[in-house]
């Protein structure tokens, strides 16, 4: 059994990998214990509000690379530890049967060489599947620069693989992670996106990477703009069929250098990027529509509001007739609400009351829609912008005076922010 000290070290080194989802795989009836739930299951939530779905752990944090942003870089003065493949397997099986976790997220620092590290990772997952009969979810971190046969072999055993793109541009990568290069990261991603893996003999009962591949990049450690980042994300989704791009806002590690900011990047920026990411994947937006390459997102309101205000001439739209594609573009109406509207309007005209009963959030949406020809919002773009800005501020208290503007007065009287 692994001791708690090593578990702590190996977990603390792995926790900055944000990928936590256990969804997208339908593995069932394989192995002696465990299956996968397509929607994913969260088993707990830590004090930072993130879920525990997978056991996030490194095989070792002894690294021969020296990436400046990373806690495990060679020159960092941190406690080092390693675990054997059997220790990891035992831990996974015992956590899994107690229902603590949904599967394993296995990664490793680059020890000796990429191939050596990848072999050890592969050894662990094969052991877990074959010897221990584990049928649950496995997310394996790939090591850039490892041999393509090793990567292909891993794809047969795990549900999801990911190679981290780390930083949004080649220049930053050269500056902050000198041993990694764009080529070594992109090559395996391209390999895994190869359509050959969708056909036999790769596509068999067990499947090849049933939950696809993802990646992660650090935001705020380098000077790239939001526009640049979402353009990159879009290219990754289009070219490599990624399931997700994760963004992790930069957290300063115990190390000072002129190349890195001393301050933690804002969580709000990360949040806006995720919102934009969802718009790319589910709402039919393109990166170009959302933002120009050298622009950043407004902090005051979300990317969809930003887009809607820029394109105010398209609104208001009629909820009873507007196509689904346009409904999801209304600020405040999400995928769920849009689907509800489309279903509900089949059996009768919808008015404002119907919408609020259906729990469609109308605070923002009312400025952009008409219900049965009736409009309940404000039609001046500038006023809408201010209202949206206000509605995003959670704490907006002000003592009412004789000189308060109309906006505040209304808000005090109606209770609306």
Residues of this chain that interact with another protein (CB under 8 A) are: 1-2, 4, 7-8, 11-12, 14-16, 28, 32-35, 37, 39, 41-53, 55-56, 91, 94-95, 97-100, 102, 251, 264, 267, 340, 343-344, 346-348, 350, 354-355, 357-358
CA separation for the pair 394, 285 (Å, rounded): 27
**Token pair of 259, please?**
């190349």
- Smallest separation, CB 406 to another protein (Å): 33
- Smallest separation, CB 39 to another protein (Å): 8
Contacts of 175 (CB under 8 A, 6+ apart): 222, 259
C-beta of residue 178 within 8 angstroms of C-beta of residue 164: no
Residue whose CB is less far from another protein, 224 or 270: 270
Residue whose CB is less far from another protein, 159 or 180: 159
| Pairing mode, strands 44-45 and 51-52 | antiparallel
- Smallest separation, CB 17 to another protein (Å): 10
Residue whose CB is less far from another protein, 68 or 358: 358
Residue whose CB is less far from another protein, 66 or 90: 90
- Smallest separation, CB 327 to another protein (Å): 14
Neighbours of 356 (CB within 10 A): 12
Alpha helices in 241-380 (DSSP H): 267-282, 287-290, 303-310, 324-327, 335-344, 352-357, 362-365
- Smallest separation, CB 25 to another protein (Å): 14
- Smallest separation, CB 265 to another protein (Å): 11
Contacts of 258 (CB under 8 A, 6+ apart): none
Residue whose CB is less far from another protein, 205 or 313: 205
Residue whose CB is less far from another protein, 37 or 296: 37
Residue whose CB is less far from another protein, 90 or 152: 90
Q: Cα dist. 219→178, 245, 265, 296, 297 in Å? A: 18, 12, 7, 12, 13
C-beta of residue 100 within 8 angstroms of C-beta of residue 42: no
- Smallest separation, CB 58 to another protein (Å): 12
Residue whose CB is less far from another protein, 49 or 195: 49
Q: Cα dist. 154→15, 126, 140, 201 in Å? A: 22, 8, 8, 15
**Token pair of 38, please?**
């397509």
C-beta of residue 118 within 8 angstroms of C-beta of residue 143: yes
Report the helix count and the strand count for the chain, using DSSP H and E: 16, 11
- Smallest separation, CB 32 to another protein (Å): 5
């Amino acid at each position: 059994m692994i001791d708690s000290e090593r578990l702590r070290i190996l977990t603390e080194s792995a926790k900055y990998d944000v990928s936590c989802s256990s969804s997208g795989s339908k593995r069932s009836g394989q192995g002696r214990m465990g299956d996968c739930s397509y929607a994913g299951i969260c088993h707990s939530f830590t004090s930072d509000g993130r879920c525990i779905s997978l056991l996030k752990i490194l095989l070792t944090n002894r690294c021969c690379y020296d990436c400046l942003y990373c806690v495990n870089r060679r020159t960092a003065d941190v406690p080092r530890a390693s675990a054997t493949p059997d220790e990891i397997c035992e831990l996974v099986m015992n956590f899994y049967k107690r229902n603590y976790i949904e599967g394993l997220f296995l990664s490793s620092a680059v020890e000796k060489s990429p191939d050596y590290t990848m072999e050890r990772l592969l050894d662990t997952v094969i052991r877990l599947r074959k010897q221990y009969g584990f049928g649950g979810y496995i997310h394996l971190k790939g090591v850039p620069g490892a041999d393509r046969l090793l990567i292909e072999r891993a794809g047969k055993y795990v549900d999801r693989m990911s190679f981290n793109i780390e930083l949004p541009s080649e220049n930053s990568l050269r500056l902050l992670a000198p041993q990694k290069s764009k080529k070594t990261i992109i090559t395996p991603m391209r390999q895994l996106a190869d359509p050959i893996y969708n056909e036999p003999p790769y596509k068999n009962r067990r499947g090849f990477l049933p939950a696809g591949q993802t990646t992660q990049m650090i935001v705020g450690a380098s000077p790239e703009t939001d526009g640049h980042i979402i353009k990159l994300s879009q290219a990754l989704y289009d070219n490599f069929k990624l399931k997700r791009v994760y963004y992790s806002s930069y957290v300063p590690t115990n190390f000072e250098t002129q190349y890195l900011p001393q301050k933690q990047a804002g969580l709000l920026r990360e949040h806006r990027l995720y919102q934009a990411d969802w718009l790319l994947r589910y709402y039919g937006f393109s990166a170009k529509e959302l933002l120009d390459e050298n622009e950043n997102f407004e902090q005051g309101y979300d990317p969809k509001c930003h887009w809607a205000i820029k394109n105010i001439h398209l609104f208001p739209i009629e909820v009873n007739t507007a196509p689904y594609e346009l409904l999801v573009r209304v600020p405040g109406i999400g995928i769920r609400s849009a689907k509800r509207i489309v279903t509900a309007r089949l059996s009768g005209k919808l008015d404002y009351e119907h919408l609020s009963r259906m729990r469609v959030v109308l605070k923002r949406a009312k400025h952009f829609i008409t219900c049965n020809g009736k409009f309940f919002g404000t039609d001046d773009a500038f006023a809408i912008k201010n209202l949206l800005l206000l509605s995003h501020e959670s704490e907006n208290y002000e003592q009412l005076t004789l000189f308060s503007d109309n906006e505040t007065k209304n808000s005090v009287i109606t209770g609306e922010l």
